[in-house]
Amino acid sequence: METLLFNLIWVIPLLTVLACIPIPATCERALRTVHTASVSFVLLVVCVLTYRVFALGADPADPASAPFALRFFTDIPWLSAFNAHYIVGADGLNMLLLALTAFIVWAGVLVSYKIKGNQKVFFALIQLLATSVYGVYMSFDLVLFFVFYEMEALCMYLMIACYGSGRRDYGGKKLTLTLAFGSSMILATLFGLYFESGTGSWSLMEISKVTLPMDFQMWAFPLMFMGFAVSSSLFPFHFWSPDGHSAAPTAVSMLAAGVMMKMGAYGCLRFAMFLMPEAAKIWLPYVVALLIFNVVLGPFIAIRHKDLKYITAYSSISHLGLIFLGLAALTPVGLRGASLQMISHGFLTGLFFATIGMIYERTHTRDITEMGGIMKKMPFLGVGFVIAGFAGLGLPGFSGFIAESTIFIGAFQQDSTLTRIVTVLAILSITTTAVYILQTANRMLHGPMPAKFQTLTDGCFREKLVIVVLVFCLLLIGIFPGPFADMLDLSIAPIFEKLKVTSY
C-alpha cells in the first residue's frame, strides 16, 4: 500500500489536470477547490511516507536498491528499445526533498487564488511542474530522470511568459534557454555513462557498480556537474536567476527558488559525485574558487538593488553557493550540511517570495524606495517578511543556522587552504547579508507611509496560513535538527563511501 501511495505522488497532479478538463475556465472557485484538495492530499501522503522512512531508519531495505537503502522501491521495464526501466524509490534525502516540494506546491497554489488570467491553465501548469519535480526526486533510472528533469523548463517558460510581470518574455526565455544549455551538457554525459559503463543499463545502481575509466571521468564530471549547477545558479551560470525571478508570478518564484534550484545541487551529489568520485576529487577545488562570487559578491550586489525580487534572487545565489561549499568539502559533515541547506533554503525562499508576492499584490510595486511604513497596515505580512530575513541571516533557532554551521564545520575539516579561505569569507559575508536584509526591512516597513498606501489591508486567513506553516517548518528543522540529520546521514553514507577522501 505504501509503495502504491509513493508511486501516486507524481501521478496525482496529472490526474488532477485531467479531472479539471471538463470544468469551464469561468468556474474559478471550483478549479481552485479541486487543485487545493489535490495538493493538500499529496502533501499529506508525502508527510506520512516521510515519517515512515524516518521510522524505518537503518532497517533492511530492498536488496535491489543497493548501495542505496531505498524505500518503496519499484523496478518495471519501460522502454525496451532503450532498455530503460521505471525505477523509483526514496531514501531520507529524497523524501525530505519530496516533502519540501509538496509544501511549496501547496503554498504556491494557496497564494495564487487571485492570479490574473486563465486560472484553469495556470493551475494545470503548476500541477505539471509539480509532476516534473516529484519525478526528479523519485527517479533512479537515468532516462526516466532526464524526462522529468526536462519537463520543468517548458512549464516555467509558459508560466512566466503568460502570467508574469515586467519583462516576462525576456525573463522566461533567458531562464529556459540557460536551463536548456545545462540540460544538453547533462544529456551528453548520460549517453557517455551508458556506453562507457558497458552495463547496458540506465540504472543508477547498476552503473555505480562499474569503475569508470579516469580519462572518461575527467571530461564527463565537469560537464555533468556544471550542467546541473546551471539550475542552482553557480557562477558563471547565475545570470538567468534574477531576471527569471523578477518576471515570474509569485508561485513560480517560490517553486523556482524553493524547489527547482535544488534539483541541480541534488543532481551534482546523487549523480556526478557518486558516479565519478575520482574526478570529483580533482575538479571540486576549482568549484570552490567559483564560489567566491556566489558567497561573497552575491550579497554586495543585493545591497545595490531596490527591487525586492532582485534582492531575494541574489540572496538565493549566495545561499546556494553554501550548498556547493558543503559538497566541495568532501567530508561527511560537509555533505550533511549541504543536504540540510537544500531543505532549509527551500523553505526560506518559499517564505520570502510568498511574502513579497502578497505585499506586491497590495502595493503594486517591488521598489523599496517607493514603500515605507507599511507595517502599520500589514503587520502580519511585515512580521512574516522580517522572520524570513532573520532566518536568512542564520539566526539560531531557524534551520539556516544549523545548515550553514554544519557546512562551515565540514569545510574546515577539509585540509585545503583555498577551501578554508572561502569558508572564512563566507562566514564574514553574513555581515553583508545583514546589511541588505535590515536595510530592506527598514525602508519597507518603517518610516513615513505614502498616502497611496493608506488603504492597504493585511493578509487574509489563507495567506496567513501559508506564512505560519512555512515559518513552522523553518523552526522545526532549526530546533529539532537531529531526526533530519539522521535521515540525511543514511543517504549520504553510500556516496561518501565512494569518495573517501581526506585531502585534495
Q: What is the pLDDT of residues 242-290, one digit of tens each?
A: 777 777 888 888 888 888 888 889 999 999 999 999 998 888 888 888 8
Half-sphere exposure in the Cβ direction for 324 (13 Å, CA):
37
End-to-end CA distance of the chain: 46
Tell me what percent of the residues of the chain surpass a pLDDT of 90: 27
Chain-wide mean pLDDT for the chain?
86
Q: Picking from 29-43, 106-120, 214-228, 488-502, which range would have the lowest pLDDT averaged per residue?
A: 488-502
pLDDT higher than 70, residue 501: no
Rounded CA-CA distance 287/307 in Å is: 29
Which tens digits make up the pLDDT trace of 346-363? 999 889 888 888 888 888
At 18, the pLDDT band (50, 70, 90 cuts) reads: very high
Which tens digits make up the pLDDT trace of 390-434? 888 788 888 888 998 899 898 888 877 888 888 888 888 777 777
Question: Which of left, alpha, beta for 503 (phi over 0: left; psi -120 to 50: alpha)?
Answer: beta
Give the total residue count for the chain.
Answer: 504
pLDDT higher than 60, residue 52: yes
pLDDT higher than 60, residue 113: yes
Which tens digits make up the pLDDT trace of 189-208? 999 898 888 888 888 988 98
H/E element, 71: strand 71-79
* C-alpha cell, 202: 540506465
Rounded CA-CA distance 42/21 in Å is: 20
CB atoms within 10 A of CB 145: 24
Helix (H, G, I), strand (E, B) or coil at 73: strand
pLDDT higher than 80, residue 449: no
pLDDT higher than 60, residue 502: no
Rounded CA-CA distance 138/56 in Å is: 18
pLDDT higher than 60, residue 81: yes
Looking at per-residue pLDDT, the higher value among 114 and 128 belongs to 128
Helix (H, G, I), strand (E, B) or coil at 281: helix
At 136, the pLDDT band (50, 70, 90 cuts) reads: very high
* 421 Cβ contact list (under 8 Å, min separation 6): none
* C-alpha cell, 192: 557517455
Closest CA to 343 of 478, 222, 144: 478
Rounded CA-CA distance 243/156 in Å is: 13
Closest CA to 372 of 297, 432, 443: 443
Asked if residue 311 lies in contact with residue 440, where contact means CB atoms within 8 angstroms, the answer is: yes
pLDDT higher than 50, residue 389: yes
Which tens digits make up the pLDDT trace of 201-243? 888 988 988 888 898 999 999 999 999 998 888 888 877 777 7
At 385, the pLDDT band (50, 70, 90 cuts) reads: confident
* 429 Cβ contact list (under 8 Å, min separation 6): 295, 296, 299, 318
Q: What is the reported pTM?
A: 0.92
Q: Picking from 79-93, 293-307, 413-427, which range would have the lowest pLDDT averaged per residue?
A: 293-307
Beta bridge partners of 203: 141
Which of the 8 DSSP states describes residue 458?
-
Is the preceding omega at residue 67 within 30 degrees of 0, hence cis?
yes
* C-alpha cell, 234: 553557480
Q: What is the pLDDT at residue 131?
A: 94
Which of the 8 DSSP states describes residue 269?
I
* C-alpha cell, 215: 580519462
Rounded CA-CA distance 301/214 in Å is: 39
